[in-house]
Structure 1
């Protein structure tokens, strides 16, 4: 997206000075003049701000057909960019919660066991959180005590910590992932989509069957969600052939775990799941809907682009400790 040039605002004429009659030198008159000049200057600044914002393409403005306008990645910039990023971060953490979450100087240290990096990594919780060596050592102790490798998750907003991880011998970045955003939409779920407020036995069985490599830990994570949630599955006959869920936190609905049986792909089932969850989010009052997809998964990114997730909000990756730390 091209940089937005500051708008040129015509000078604001000092109308108060025009209305000051010759010889008006009283204290009250001077006070009125001062107040009017301050108001005029503020009005001029406000016009400049509105002009800048008005000229910028909104990343959330809906296109025809309820498809948001494509936007460049937020890098902490834009109107409300930082605040929205951290709201989405908190909502994503609530939608994919760790079994145990420790706090270390503004970093959330997730310990869950199993193979999920997101629920077994340390993430910053606010934009002003830095990573220094004492904090890194505290994080490493948490994972050493849990007999797990130390994994630090860095977003676009926390890349400065990468130099410290380099010095500490952490491996190269892995698992590059993008966070995509769109507006909710009042879709009506297709009749074949079943939506429940909790993961029932059929949903859990489908989750384990569709994710066999990580069945145990990935099946446990949705059961830990405490935020309002919707669990959707598509039926073909007596079988669940596609699943997904969404959780709503602070006006952000996060879609997770969309999966389709390989034998039932290219039949629109994933689209039906997402449509049902978008409708649930709209009815629940969500302001935005987010999901996270691996950067290298071109097929999934193309699908989500077709489904309107055209705003690339921010990315993240993981850094894994390449050696076991020793402490004095």
Structure 2
């Protein structure tokens, strides 16, 4: 199907282009001020009953009726990044999962059901890296029963924005009434430049186990239970960084998990009264140097899209977004 609109715009996509990255110009939605038309760029996940479903990089699914489309074309995949290491989605998904392990897990085909007493969505959600071995609706029902038996809400972690990610699953979950609660970017960078930063690492103490003071600074710990320590101390080679404060609570903390060529940075937090003193950079640099000494060469981390302060820090250190992951909860 190829036709012109108004003698200028051309639609060059068909239902056979599902799975490809497309750019579609269509009528703006009611309430959108300004231009009559808007553009949507993303992966064409379905074209059913005269409606296109396009998933943007941030995981948002946009539905466009054929009658509102005025132009469309297949566009090339996003260009390779010019900095940082090359990596596949599956490699990073597995590395990040090993760095934040649940207390309990169960395989469901290519899915992994994970639980850790409710401590963080990452450790208490379904990780789908393949097919579940049964119809999706049945797999979701099995997951709901599994989490309900443990007194936990049911979450599914999905990803968008890179080859091999799960745009279609995002759409399916929305169609089943699941709600996307939170999204975060997984970023990657070369490790050596972080280790080479001019930072005062003499104030950073590294250790293998999480200490009470470290937990007191960590904002996600809540009332620490055994599952918190179990998740935090998991991982192939895990290190905790601490910068002493005025009292028992540290001025800054951080965590790094070294796994082959990868070093994953997590829980980098600074006392609000001690910010803008380079403490976060010192923590990152000390952990990076430890990872380099163990043979790592690449870095990854996760940051929520609305955390502007952290994103600015990581931008300056050379991190670039590889993909975005999302947690869907049963509606």
The residue correspondences of 1:255-274 to structure 2 (distance < 5 A) are 255-274=265-284
The residue correspondences of 1:226-241 to structure 2 (distance < 5 A) are 226-236=235-245, 239=248, 240-241=250-251
User: Counterpart in 1 of 2:40?
Assistant: none
User: Counterpart in 2 of 1:33?
Assistant: none
Is the partner of 1:191 in helix, strand or coil?
helix
1:116 to 2:120 alignment:
yes
| Alpha-carbon distance in 1 for matches of 2:104, 2:310 | 30
User: Counterpart in 1 of 2:214?
Assistant: 206
User: Counterpart in 2 of 1:39?
Assistant: none
| Alpha-carbon distance in 2 for matches of 1:153, 1:190 | 35
Residue from 316, 325, 331 that aligns with 1:316: 325
Count of aligned pairs: 243
User: Counterpart in 2 of 1:138?
Assistant: 142
Q: Which has the higher strand share?
A: 2
| Alpha-carbon distance in 2 for matches of 1:179, 1:145 | 31
Post-superposition offset of 1:244: 0.6
The residue correspondences of 1:48-59 to structure 2 (distance < 5 A) are 58-59=82-83
Residue from 185, 191, 195 that aligns with 1:178: 185
| Alpha-carbon distance in 1 for matches of 2:97, 2:272 | 28
| Alpha-carbon distance in 2 for matches of 1:277, 1:243 | 11
User: Counterpart in 2 of 1:253?
Assistant: 263
* Cα pair 2:241 2:253 within 8 Å, conserved: yes
CA-based RMSD of the aligned residues comes to: 2.6
| Alpha-carbon distance in 1 for matches of 2:288, 2:137 | 42
User: Counterpart in 1 of 2:159?
Assistant: 155
Post-superposition offset of 1:56: 6.1
Post-superposition offset of 1:58: 3.4
Post-superposition offset of 1:302: 0.5
Is the partner of 2:222 in helix, strand or coil?
helix
| Alpha-carbon distance in 2 for matches of 1:90, 1:210 | 24
User: Counterpart in 2 of 1:98?
Assistant: 102
Gap regions ≥5 residues in structure 2: 1-78
| Alpha-carbon distance in 1 for matches of 2:233, 2:221 | 20
Distance 1:263 1:252, change over 3 A: same
1:280 to 2:290 alignment:
yes
| Alpha-carbon distance in 1 for matches of 2:104, 2:218 | 26
Is the partner of 1:142 in helix, strand or coil?
helix
Q: Which has the higher helix share?
A: 1
Is the partner of 1:214 in helix, strand or coil?
coil
Post-superposition offset of 1:260: 0.9
Is the partner of 2:188 in helix, strand or coil?
strand
* Cα pair 1:193 1:232 within 8 Å, conserved: yes
Post-superposition offset of 1:213: 6.5
Q: Deviations over 1:119-173 (max 9, x none)?
A: 11111235x77872222222112111112111111101112112322232212x2
* Cα pair 1:232 1:244 within 8 Å, conserved: yes
User: Counterpart in 2 of 1:17?
Assistant: none
TM-score, length-scaled by structure 1: 0.67
Q: Which of the pair has more CA radius of gyration?
A: 1
* Cα pair 2:126 2:155 within 8 Å, conserved: yes
| Alpha-carbon distance in 1 for matches of 2:206, 2:297 | 21
TM-score, length-scaled by structure 2: 0.67
Residue from 226, 230, 234 that aligns with 1:225: 234
* Cα pair 1:115 1:214 within 8 Å, conserved: no
Gap regions ≥5 residues in structure 1: 1-54, 62-79, 323-328
Post-superposition offset of 1:102: 1.3
